[in-house]
Amino acid sequence: MIPTLQSYLLLGSGIFCLGLFAALSRRNAVGLLVGIELMANGVNLNLVAFSRFTGLVDYQVFALFSIALTVAEVVVGLAIVILIFRHHRSIDTDLVSEFEG
Amino acid sequence: MNALNLACMALFVPVIVAGLMWLVPPLRTRGRIGAYLSVLAALASTCSALVLFGMQRAAPNTVILDAQTHWLTREGRSMADVGFYLDGVSTSMLVVVCVVALLVQIFSLGYMADEPPAAFGRYFTYHSLFLFSMAGLVVAPNLLQLFMCWELVGLASYLLIGFYFKKPSAARAAVKAFWITKFADMGLLLGIIILYTQTGSFDWGPEAIATLTASGMATTVGLLLFLAIMGKSAQFPLHLWLPDAMEGPTPVSALLHAATMVAAGVYLGVRAMPVFAASEDTLFVMAHIGGFTALFAACVAVVQTDIKKVLAYSTCSQLGYMVAALGTGEIVGGYFHLTTHAYFKALLFLAAGSIIHGVHSNQLQHMGGLFSKMKITAITFIIGALALAGFPGTAGFFSKDLILEQLLHAELYFPYACGMIAAFLTAFYMGRVVFLAFFGTPSAAAEEAHESDLAMTIPLLVLAVLSLGIGYFGTSLAGLYGAEYHFHLSPTGLAASALGLLGIVMSWLAFGRSPGLNLSAFEPIGNLIRYGATDRVFKAAYERILLGASAILAWIDRYIIDGLMNWSAYITVIGGRELRGSQTGRIMDYVYFLVFGLLVLSASGWIGR
């Protein structure tokens, strides 16, 4: 069976939803970051699938940009997580509520 | 020396002295040195003015000096000229100003001798500044220079009224004089601006006025300039500042608030007569306001108890005569009265100063029986009073009769009637002052009084001679600026003199005889005048109208404008307080909001598809 565009899109949105679920449900900050990473990669998969099925390279360029952005975001995110850990001796996101109004 | 050098000397020597005294404090703080410098400067000015007057006499009805320099040059064209313009009018006015200023300064050497040296020096600095400003005003070739000097004399007046600035009433009087004249000066400034926009120059000559008349603005400009005259020359209802200005030292009242500065308004009327004469309406207003002021102020003068206040209201009244005379469109009557009045009113004020120096009080009831104590002062004061009352043969007789005749000739019956009644009242109130101050039983203070020293009596004698003699030179003075005046006895003159004599007799009956005429029947009228004359009426109007309107505006500001501001601030605070609960500070909640927002966006995109 030759995979169609739909199956790639379904897979991409499945990965996105898994990532969203992880981001919403995990109270561990690293888990949160991993969830966000999954969401981004679900989107990247969509882009690459579009590129494959339309023959345009534009989508691949977008995917490359997205990857670079994701890497940068993870760098900043992990740095924040490390600082939170130093401060609270924990990375439970519920503990971090200094900005409460 | 040519005319230009002389004019420069008359104008600049006083200002150089004033500047020196201002810049070199020892001159001022040591008192005497500065005072002598100032008197010498006034002497130099007077000498040059007299020489200029001699040149004018040799060539009557010509312009002996017209030297102007360009000022504010722009694109090769001068916006305004400043300099000297000496003709028959300005030369004789310059003489009046310099002579009176010199005599007043000499008098002040005696009168102010008890002041601390620093105050003494300050006083003479102001006097030199005043002499410069007033001379600059007199020789001004156009309205712009006149305006600058007009404001400078206003400044000198403010400084000298507030000379005893530690006294709250003096400080208040100075500010009051400043504000009222400043209000009136707006008229002068606006008038000058309109004149410039219409004619492109600050000139008051016939060509400029022809252009002005063609543009239809002559009445507007005339009335605006007249507003300035009303302020400076204390015409009703802007006369309020002049009685209060008596807070200044008495020689200042003599120089600024009787002889010269208040006459600057009349002088403007004389100089800018083409502007006023271009409009019948302006002349009509001038004649009527002047006439009413003459009568009103004379009524008020009758009931004053302070000798300086009597003289102040009398000045108002006499200025009213001059303004009314200008309302006929001819300058000769008003200008002649200005000249004579300057001498005899300065004399009266200086003599009053001599009395005050003797008894240390302004109140008439603290005087009495001074004739035997202060012979020179008394005789000179009586000469001044007779001149003011228009006693036949004195200076006031000639000039006042000329004014009344002019008013009758111009068929201005209301000012004429006012002038006639005021002639009677003038004699009456001056008689009252003379009888109360110099005759009758002396008060305790008057027992101690003695004649003032030479520095004070010599100016009195000089002014007394001038007050007696100046009236006989009316014809030649008028000839200097090409006007016709020949004294002749007319029914008007006889009637005015008779009224004056009647006033003197009445005052003798009322105040001179030992059982005086019973005046209690007139007491209610006196009280009414006293009530109306003081600021109370104006104060009430001020409180009711101005403060009432201010209160309404304040309410609107406080409750509507500020209310809007406060209401919006309140809404913001309440909104913030209610919404702060949404900021939990927990990361997960923000992620929920994010996802919720994403869902809303997707849903709206789905619906709007």
Among A24, A92, A95, which would you mutate to test the B interface (most chain B Cβ atoms within 10 Å of its Cβ)? A24
- CB distance from A16 to chain B under 8 Å? no
With CA atoms as reference, the chain A residue closest to B588 would be A24
Write down the pLDDT at residue A77: 92
Residue B498 one-letter amino acid: A
Q: What mean pLDDT comes out for the span A43-59?
A: 92
Asked if A101 and B585 come within 8 Å (Cβ–Cβ), the reply is yes
Looking at the domain assignment, is residue A8 inside a domain? Answer: no
Answering whether pTM is above 0.90, one says no
Write down the pLDDT at residue A59: 92
Residue B53: exposure state from Cβ atoms within 10 A (0-12, 13-18, ≥19): buried
- CB distance from A88 to chain B under 8 Å? no
In 3D space, the residue among B151, B173, B154, B155 whose CA is nearest the CA of residue B164 turns out to be B173
Asked if A101 and B582 come within 8 Å (Cβ–Cβ), the reply is yes
With CA atoms as reference, the chain B residue closest to A25 would be B588
Q: Nearest by CB to A101, which of B583, B587, B595?
A: B583
Which residue is listed with tokens 């600058």? B148
B185-201 b/e (C-beta count within 10 Å ≥ 16 → b): bebbebbbebbbebbeb
Provide the token pair at B442: 């002396």
- CB distance from B580 to chain A under 8 Å? yes
The residues, ordered by sequence, that sit 6+ positions from B68 with a Cβ below 8 Å of its Cβ are: B81, B82, B83, B84, B85, B141
Looking at the domain assignment, is residue A54 inside a domain? Answer: yes
Among B579, B587, B592, which would you mutate to test the A interface (most chain A Cβ atoms within 10 Å of its Cβ)? B587
For B539-595, how does the pLDDT look when each residue is reduced to its tens digit (9 = 90+)?
Answer: 777 778 878 888 999 999 999 999 999 999 999 999 999 888 888 877 778 888 888
Asked if A98 and B585 come within 8 Å (Cβ–Cβ), the reply is yes
**In whole angstroms, what is the distance from residue B318 CA to residue B316 CA?**
6
Which residues pair with residue A92 across a beta bridge? A28
User: How many C-beta atoms surround the C-beta of residue B594 within 10 A?
Assistant: 12
With CA atoms as reference, the chain B residue closest to A32 would be B588
Provide the token pair at B70: 């360009």
For B175-189, how does the pLDDT look when each residue is reduced to its tens digit (9 = 90+)?
Answer: 888 888 888 898 899
Write down the pLDDT at residue A74: 92
* Element housing B489 (H / E): none
**In the structure, what pLDDT confidence band is assigned to residue A41 with cuts at 50, 70 and 90?**
very high
Write down the pLDDT at residue B388: 87
- CB distance from A23 to chain B under 8 Å? yes
- The C-alpha of B559 sits at a distance from chain A's nearest C-alpha, in angstroms, of 33
User: How many C-beta atoms surround the C-beta of residue A25 within 10 A?
Assistant: 11
Asked if A20 and B595 come within 8 Å (Cβ–Cβ), the reply is yes
Asked if A99 and B580 come within 8 Å (Cβ–Cβ), the reply is no
- CB distance from B585 to chain A under 8 Å? yes
With CA atoms as reference, the chain A residue closest to B579 would be A101
Angle between helices B32-58 and B88-111 (to 10 degrees): 160
Secondary structure letter of residue B593 according to DSSP: H
Residue A19 main-chain phi, psi, to 5 deg: -60, -40
User: How many C-beta atoms surround the C-beta of residue B607 within 10 A?
Assistant: 7
Asked if A27 and B588 come within 8 Å (Cβ–Cβ), the reply is yes
Write down the pLDDT at residue B531: 62
Angle between helices A5-25 and A29-54 (to 10 degrees): 170
Asked if B585 and A23 come within 8 Å (Cβ–Cβ), the reply is no
In 3D space, the residue among A40, A22, A39 whose CA is nearest the CA of residue A31 turns out to be A22
**In whole angstroms, what is the distance from residue B357 CA to residue B464 CA?**
19
Between these two residues, A53 and B513, which has the higher pLDDT value?
A53
With CA atoms as reference, the chain A residue closest to B598 would be A20
Residue B82 main-chain phi, psi, to 5 deg: -125, 155
Structural domain count of chain A: 1
| CB pairs A-B closer than 8 Å | 35
For A62-73, how does the pLDDT look when each residue is reduced to its tens digit (9 = 90+)?
Answer: 999 999 999 999
Write down the pLDDT at residue B528: 66
Write down the pLDDT at residue B119: 84
- CB distance from B514 to chain A under 8 Å? no
With CA atoms as reference, the chain B residue closest to A100 would be B585
Write down the pLDDT at residue B256: 85
Q: List Cα–Cα distances, A55 to A31, A48, A52, B595, in angstroms.
A: 36, 10, 6, 32
For A20-38, how does the pLDDT look when each residue is reduced to its tens digit (9 = 90+)?
Answer: 899 888 888 899 899 999 9
Write down the pLDDT at residue B542: 72
Residue B107 main-chain phi, psi, to 5 deg: -60, -40
In 3D space, the residue among B9, B76, B77 whose CA is nearest the CA of residue B48 turns out to be B9
SS3 readout for B442-459? CCHHHHHCCCCCHHHHHH
Coil/strand/helix, residue B78: strand
Write down the pLDDT at residue A65: 94
Provide the token pair at B78: 């001068």
Asked if A20 and B585 come within 8 Å (Cβ–Cβ), the reply is no
**In whole angstroms, what is the distance from residue B278 CA to residue B347 CA?**
36
Looking at the domain assignment, is residue A45 inside a domain? Answer: yes
All structural domains of chain B with their residue ranges: 1-141, 170-278, 289-517, 539-607
Provide the token pair at B76: 């090769």
Looking at the domain assignment, is residue A78 inside a domain? Answer: yes
- The C-alpha of A48 sits at a distance from chain B's nearest C-alpha, in angstroms, of 23
**In whole angstroms, what is the distance from residue B521 CA to residue B519 CA?**
5
Provide the token pair at B85: 């313009």
- CB distance from B577 to chain A under 8 Å? no
Write down the pLDDT at residue A73: 92
CA atoms within 13 A on the CB side of A34: 10
Q: Nearest by CB to A101, which of B580, B588, B592?
A: B580
Residue B260 contacts residue B233 (beta carbons within 8 Å): no
Give the residue ranges of chain B where pLDDT is below 70: 1, 445-446, 514-535
Residue B290 contacts residue B283 (beta carbons within 8 Å): no
- CB distance from B595 to chain A under 8 Å? yes
Among B578, B583, B591, B595, which would you mutate to test the A interface (most chain A Cβ atoms within 10 Å of its Cβ)? B591
Write down the pLDDT at residue B570: 95
Looking at the domain assignment, is residue A66 inside a domain? Answer: yes
In 3D space, the residue among B384, B118, B345 whose CA is nearest the CA of residue B251 turns out to be B345
Asked if B584 and A94 come within 8 Å (Cβ–Cβ), the reply is no
Write down the pLDDT at residue B529: 66
Which residues pair with residue B65 across a beta bridge? B86
Q: Nearest by CB to B595, which of A24, A29, A98?
A: A24
Write down the pLDDT at residue B514: 64
Q: List Cα–Cα distances, B323 to B195, B309, B552, in angstroms.
A: 22, 21, 39
Q: Nearest by CB to A24, which of B579, B582, B592?
A: B592
Write down the pLDDT at residue A10: 93
Write down the pLDDT at residue A101: 64
Write down the pLDDT at residue B604: 93
Looking at the domain assignment, is residue A7 inside a domain? Answer: no
Asked if A24 and B587 come within 8 Å (Cβ–Cβ), the reply is no
Render B130-163 in DSSP notation, one character per residue. HHHHHHHHHT-SSHHHHHHHHHHHHHHHHHHHTT
Residue B171 contacts residue B165 (beta carbons within 8 Å): yes
Q: List Cα–Cα distances, B238 to B12, B30, B335, in angstroms.
A: 32, 39, 21
